[in-house]
Each structure stands twice: as structure tokens, then as C-alpha cells.
Structure 1
Amino acid sequence: MNWIDLATFAAALFVAAMAPGPGIAAIVARVLAHGRKGATAFCTGMMLGDVVWLSLAVFGLAFIAHSFASVFLVVRYAGAAYLLYLGWRMWSAPASAIRLPTSGAERPCRLFFGGLAVTLGNPKTIVFYLALMPNLFDLKRVTLLGYGELMMVTLLILGFVFAGYVVLAHMARGLFSTPRALRWLNRGVGTVMAGAAAAIASR
């Protein structure tokens, strides 16, 4: 692909990724709750979800998303249920729970698939790749090499944006030190998680 198309795609993706949505809310809320532990696995799953939607758009397979609408609907509700579960755990957690290490139940593979489900069911991501991306450039002219370049740009942009949110959330987490502040943080994180779940499930 020529550099103009890649730059256009990169700029559009950067703006879309930076804009707050269910995915960003999930990342920030999780880091506020548990710190950076597990954030890499969760973000990697989200990034792979973007690659899935990118692939469907580039190879003209958007019809798959419509043909298997019920499958993606299940994935969407699975992602929403996962966020709702995390939200409930944070809302009901004692004030000291935020300082505890991530529980053994949250294995990297579970976090990875949780992030994947969140992105596959995220309406903002779906709209970007299947509706907006075809208007950025002619997808019919994308070669296999061009697809590889787009995928690399996608991973680089998302990795940069997600890492930035993780760092900022981790810094903000350090401001909560008293039991009262931790209790409000737990409940705030739980509310954000529930809101992200509602945003995914209602679209």
C-alpha cells in the first residue's frame, strides 16, 4: 500500500482508539482495580479482536458478520457478561481488596479471551472496520502485503494507545490510599464496568 493510504488509516484508527468507549473503559477500570498485572493479556485479546474485524473488512467478508449474526451476538453478550461480572466483583469487594494481587482465577488465558470477547462485541470497533474503513480507501486494491502492513499498523497504534491508558490508570490508582477512597474507587470501577457492559449489550 502507498504511504498516504497507510497514514490515513493510521490517523483514523488512532482517533477511534483514543476515543473513550467500552473497550477503553474496561482497560482503565481493570487497571484501577488490579494494577498492571494481567493488563497485557487483556489488551492483547482486544488487539486480536481488532485484527479479526480488520481481516473481515479487507477480504470483503463483511457478509460473514451478517450471515453469522447469531454467533457474534453470543460473543457480544459473553463480553458484556464478563464486564458485568467484573463490575459486580469490584462493587462488592471490601476496601482492602484493591491492594490484593489478582486472584488465581484470573489466568492470562481467561483475561485474553475476555479482552477478545469485549472487542468482538464492541459496536464502536465494528462500525470502524465494517462501515468507516471502506470509505477511507479502496479495499479491493489491498494486496496480501498491504494487508500485512495494515495489520502491523493496527497492532502498533492499538499497542501505543492501550499502553498509554494502562500507564495513566496505574498512576491514578496510586492516589487512592485510604479505606474510604478505596471503597469509592471499587464502586466507581464497578459502575464503569457495568456501563461498558450495557453499552456493548444494547447496540
Structure 2
Amino acid sequence: MHGLTLSGLAIFAAALAVAAFAPGPGIAAIVARVLGRGRSGAVAFTTGLAMGDIVWLSATVLGLAVLAQTFQGVFTVIKYAGAAYLLYLAVKMWTAPAAAIEARQAVKKEKTSTLFLAGLAVTLGNPKVMVFYLALLPNLVDLGRVDALAFAELALVTLSVLALVFGFYIALALRARRLISSPKAIRIVNRSSGAIMASAAVAIATR
């Protein structure tokens, strides 16, 4: 077994970090949800997002990208399912009462499994993620000779980079949320979060 070179992993990590930091539907959904609901459910949702990347990474390494394109209809269904759930969250955020943050902690939590699947659907329904891996990996790795160790290294780097990026945006949103106290400000945040989430849903559905 042989892994990848450090330089290859570093290039992969840097390219992934740049791509992940760029605001997109997934990041918008994370920020909107944390602003509206706090950190509750954020880990489950972002884990789903990250595992979607692992699915696309695996498809690229295993040469299944063409197969994924062949079954485009399946991924289209997944894409719309993810967009529909984000739209559902957007409506809930928009209509949430302007209660104090302490009171909002008591709001019924969504199921962890539902949030995970929603995050997974968002990433799987985004073809740009697949295109990213298809464009980058062949320049760094001989995909015909990737062994288990090399794949594990790629997966570990992917999860580590995404954890850092998602963690940064969650912390940023939480910091902004702590500054909110008045009912008027809370109402503005609720509706702004709902609008951002709805925008993310539309962006995913129209790609």
C-alpha cells in the first residue's frame, strides 16, 4: 500500500479549502440556520453536507462519475428533495416568533437524521461538487492506481478541511447571533435567515 505525497495532499487541501470557503448554497444554508436556530442541529446538517463530498470523492476515485451522470434523474430527484427541505426550513424561520433567544432554545428540534439527510441531499444535488473532484484529482493522482491508503488520506483531508470551513461559518454566525436581543432585531434575523435559506433552496433547484 502506498499513500499520496505530502505535496499532493497539500495542493488538494488548499484547492478544496478555497472552493469550500466560497459562499454557496450550502454555506448560506449553514449560516441561515445557525442565525435562526443556534448551534442546534448544525453538526448533523454539516455532517450530511460533508458526507455528500465523500460520496462524490468516492465516485470519482472509483470511476463512477460517468455512472452518476447516466443516472442523472436520480440525482435530480435528490436535488429537489434537498431544495424542498431547505424551503420548508425557510418558511419556519420566516414565521418564527420574535421570542428571546432563551425562549427559542425550547423550540422543538428537528430530527438529527432528517437534518443529516437534508445536508447530504444538498451536496449530492450539486453537480459542481462532482465537477470539482473530476477536474482536480486526475492532476494529482493516478486514479487507476489509487489504493485504500491513498483514498483514506483523501477522505481524511476532505473531512478535515470541511470541518474547519463549516466550523468557521458556524462560529461566525453564532457570534452574530449573540448580539441579537431586542424583539425587533430577532424578527429581522428570523426573516433574513428565512430569505437566505429560501435563496439557497432556489439556487440548488435551478442548477
TM-score (norm 1): 0.93
Match of residue 120 from structure 1: 124
CA-CA distance at 1:126 after TM superposition: 2.8
Match of residue 197 from structure 1: 201
CA-CA distance at 1:137 after TM superposition: 4.0
Residue 186 of structure 2 aligns with an amino acid whose one-letter code is L
Would the alpha carbon gap of residues 82 and 19 (structure 1) be closer, same or farther in structure 2, given more than 3 Å must change? same
Contact 1:34 1:102 in 2 (8 A): no
Q: In 1, distance between residues paired with 2:160 and 2:187? A: 36
Would the alpha carbon gap of residues 52 and 97 (structure 1) be closer, same or farther in structure 2, given more than 3 Å must change? farther
- Indicate yes or no: 2:57 matched with 1:54: yes
Give unmatched runs, 5+ long, in structure 2: none
Q: In 1, distance between residues paired with 2:165 and 2:21? A: 6
Contact 1:84 1:193 in 2 (8 A): yes
Q: How does 1:28-39 map to 2 (within 5 A)?
A: 28-39=31-42
CA-CA distance at 1:155 after TM superposition: 0.7
Q: In 1, distance between residues paired with 2:39 and 2:163? A: 14
Q: In 2, distance between residues paired with 1:102 and 1:128? A: 40
- Indicate yes or no: 2:158 matched with 1:179: no
Residue 55 of structure 1 aligns with an amino acid whose one-letter code is S
Give unmatched runs, 5+ long, in structure 1: none
Would the alpha carbon gap of residues 140 and 74 (structure 1) be closer, same or farther in structure 2, given more than 3 Å must change? same
Q: In 2, distance between residues paired with 1:135 and 1:191? A: 39
- Over the aligned positions, Cα root-mean-square deviation in angstroms equals 1.6
TM-score (norm 2): 0.92
Q: Which moved more, 1:87-96 or 1:102-111?
A: 102-111
CA-CA distance at 1:48 after TM superposition: 0.7
Q: In 1, distance between residues paired with 2:65 and 2:27? A: 24
Q: In 1, distance between residues paired with 2:187 and 2:7? A: 49
CA-CA distance at 1:202 after TM superposition: 0.5
Contact 1:22 1:200 in 2 (8 A): yes
Residue 49 of structure 1 aligns with an amino acid whose one-letter code is G
Identity percentage over the alignment?
59
Residue 138 of structure 2 aligns with an amino acid whose one-letter code is P
- Indicate yes or no: 2:5 matched with 1:9: no
Which of residues 17, 23, 27 is equivalent to 1:20? Answer: 23
Which of residues 142, 148, 162 is equivalent to 1:144? Answer: 148
Which of residues 43, 47, 67 is equivalent to 1:44? Answer: 47
CA-CA distance at 1:132 after TM superposition: 4.0
CA-CA distance at 1:102 after TM superposition: 6.2
Q: In 2, distance between residues paired with 1:52 and 1:121? A: 11
Aligned pairs, how many? 203
